[in-house]
Structure 1
Amino acid sequence: MSRVNTVLGPIATEELGIVAIHEHIGYGMPGSELDTKWWKTPEVRYEETVPKLRKFHEYGGGTFVDVTGICNGRDIDYYKSLSAKTGVHIIACTGFVGGDTALPFFERATVEYLTAQFVHEITVGIGNTGSRAGVIKVGVSRGGRMTDLDKRIYRAAARAALNTGVPILTHLAIDAENAIAIFNEEGLPLHRVLFGHADDGINAEKTRDTWIASQGGRVGFDTFGYETELEDPPFWARPRNERLDHFLRFLRAGHLDQALAGVDANCSPLGWPGVKGHTVNYLFEDLIPDLRDAGLDDATITKLFVENPADFLTIQP
């Protein structure tokens, strides 16, 4: 039976349903949980998060993939409680959003140490929670080029993916040449990697999305909803129609099988106010209707949000 690790245990791939592929229950920089300006009680975090996940479930959402990573607010026991309360499957990750978000303890770690860390969290569990990671997160640090630590994390992720069969998601799809070189050196098939944020407003023009697809990688258009039309748009915002047109061009270029879409939600931001007016439910309230208005049929919608994520997330021996 094909399966996927969720925080409440392994489930059959067929149970995933509609997947929000690149999201956050609560993301923040290391130490933000101790900042008195931004610290939130558990009650406040629940108040901000539970209604969003319940609405997601009511809309037909099945699975929320949390790619917050080590050091950025990952809280597995909290995720387990949320999943049980709302009925949404939550997949947690091992790995890091980027080398620049890793605490010094990990900054000095070798590839071998990082590999063992990732494998342990996938096969044994994260801390003492008993929950196993279902994906590995890696990322390019600020500056747009992979640092030495980024490269060690990418190499360790490739080895852990080969060892365990879980896939890799990236934060940003820039500097993909270096990333793909590492994955190729390690012998990791590129269909096990989702190169994320190909559509964000800062890096879209520098992201070689069709080239990544030609190499065999999957491409994530997963910052939908961060629009310049928002009341207070973030620095990575982009005009709504511009992002949508970019995604449609990618699909029409013959890359449907390699495309995944998400909204990079942050249900209860840690250490910053978040982006007003943006939730995971943009997927149902705006994105899917926009895609239908653009002429995509139900089979294509199912391909993008059910079949492609299921194929990607399935643990492969």
Structure 2
Amino acid sequence: MNKIPVVGGGEISPSDMGLTLFHEHLRLTTEVVRWNWPHLYNESEEFRRAVDAVNAVKRFGVKTIVDLTVAGIGRDVRFDERVARATGVNIIMGTGFYTYTELPFYFRNRGIDSLVDVFMHDITIGIQGTNTRAVFVKAVIDSPGLTRDVEMAIRAVARTHVKTGAPIITHSFVGNRSSLELIRIFKEEGVDLSRAVIGHVGDTDDVSFIEQVLREGAFVGLDRFGLDLYLPLEKRVRTTIELIRRGWVDQILLSHDYCPVIDWYPTETVRNMVPDWSMTLIFEKVIPRLRDEGVTQEQVDKILMDNPRRLFSGRS
């Protein structure tokens, strides 16, 4: 069975992933601000908050966390390595470029192959000069839709997947149904959609739209529990229950998209905007509600253990 690289340069078997949160962040920061004005940041406090968040889910039995922080939003493999050592939790990292509109001039002026090359380097050699290798590729599309540069990045992700077999995990925006643009491009590029996650479709309770994605064979990310500004918790739970009832349990993944550190807003603003957002919400509130509505422990285990294992191992 294929081994899965984890931060620090080690590897685990897919069967050792255990209880997995497939879409979280340990730290999300604005690279250009951090690079130029480091005095605005408190590294030791950020590390404490990340360790506290990981230790909190460890107490619920989580063994593996997939960090979706890639280039453009502050990916830092050495920070993740420190958190992994401090907590003993497996942390998986990926590659990709996070943008809603434009790519840096470096890639825009060199073309799509320059992106594929750096993604391939992260997967085959290591991230940021370390021996921690990327396990997945991330594609991003949001409210501005399919700009020229966003399409270039998405196609680079798809071509990297085709070359390496690495799974794809995506960020999409349900307001403009950009999930369908991702699928269209992936199909044009020959992506195996059974190895792709269409992320953030849980931001809508339109089950018919989510099923449109599911029928393409991809996993769907119901992955923003606690981000009530996009969809309240109760609607997210009801949507999850309905999808399970309709027989889609094999293609559902759950997570929070939680960031113990995010500099996009002041810390207090984040707390006021999304007071229930945490990395433990699924275990504290969601799973109990699912069980009350007749979802079995076997189905819960399939979503949180079996489905992530299948995504990263490529095996049913």
Q: Contact 1:28 / 1:272 at 8 angstroms: preserved in 2?
A: no
- Paired residue type of 1:269: I
Q: Write the deviation string for residues 123-145 of structure 1: whole angstroms up to 9, x where unpaired.
A: 111121221111111111432x2
Offset of 1:109 from its aligned partner? 4.4
User: Residue in 2 aligned with 1:75?
Assistant: 76
1:30-65 C-alpha deviation (Å, 9 max, x unpaired): 423257699322211112111111121121001111
- Residue pair 1:17, 1:61 contacting (<8 A) in 2 also: yes
- The answer to whether the aligner puts 1:159 opposite 2:152 as a matched pair is no
> What does residue 243 of structure 1 align with?
236
**TM-score, scaled relative to structure 2:** 0.89
* Match of residue 278 from structure 2: 279
Question: Equivalent residue for 2:24?
Answer: 23
CA shift, 1:271, in A, is 4.0
For residue 170 of structure 2, what is the amino acid of its counterpart? T
| Equivalent AA in structure 1 for residue 290 of structure 2 | L
Quick check: 1:26–1:68 contact (8 Å CA) kept in 2? Answer: yes
The residue that corresponds to 2:91 in the other structure is 90
Q: In structure 2, how many angstroms separate the alpha carbons of the residues matched to 1:239 and 1:108?
A: 42
Matched with 2:293 is: 294
Q: Which residue of 1 aligns with 2:304?
A: 305
User: What are the within-5 Å matches in structure 2 for residues 98-117 of structure 1?
Assistant: 98-100=99-101, 102-117=103-118
SS in 2 for 1:209: helix
Relative to 1, partners in 2 of residues 1:197 and 1:2: Cα closer, same or farther, differing over 3 Å?
A: same
What is the one-letter code of the residue matched to 2:249? L
- State the identity %: 28
Deviation per residue, 1:215-238 (Å, 9 max, x gap):
1111110001122xxxxxxx42x2
One-letter code aligned to 2:220? V
C-alpha separation in 1, matches of 2:291 and 2:205 = 23
- Judge conservation of contact 1:262–1:283 (CA < 8 Å) in 2: yes
With over 3 angstroms needed to count, the CA separation of the structure-2 counterparts of 1:257 and 1:315, relative to structure 1, is closer
TM normalised by structure 1 equals 0.89
Q: Structure 2: how far apart are the matches of 1:210 and 1:32?
A: 40
| Aligned alpha-carbon RMSD (Å) | 2.2
Q: Distance between the aligned counterparts of 1:256 and 1:314, measured in 2? A: 18
C-alpha displacement of 1:148 = 1.4
Paired with 1:218 and 1:134, the residues of 2 have a C-alpha distance of 17
- Give a deviation string over 1:133-160, Cα, whole Å, max 9, x none: 11111111432x2211121111111111
How far is 1:204 from its partner? 5.5
Question: How many Å separate the matches in 2 of 1:64 and 1:124?
Answer: 21
* 2:194 aligned with 1:225: no
Q: Is the 8 A contact 1:98 1:138 kept in 2?
A: no
Aligned residue pairs total: 305
Aligned match for 2:187, one of 167, 181, 184: 184
Unaligned runs of 5+ in 1: 228-234
Pair 1:5-2:8 in alignment? no
Q: Residue 4 of structure 1 contacts residue 315 of structure 1 at CA under 8 Å; is this kept in 2? A: no
After superposition, the Cα gap between the structure-2 partners of 1:206 and 1:259, relative to the gap in structure 1 and judged at 3 Å, is: closer
Change (3 A) 1:78 1:313: same
The equivalent residue for 2:149 is 149
How much does 1:303 deviate? 0.2
Relative to structure 1, the CA distance from residue 10 to residue 37 in structure 2 (aligned partners, 3 Å threshold; closer, same or farther) is closer
User: Does structure 2 retain, via aligned residues, the 8 Å contact 1:66–1:91?
Assistant: yes
Q: CA offset at residue 287 of structure 1?
A: 1.9
Query: Where does the alignment leave 5 or more consecutive residues of structure 2 unmatched?
Result: none
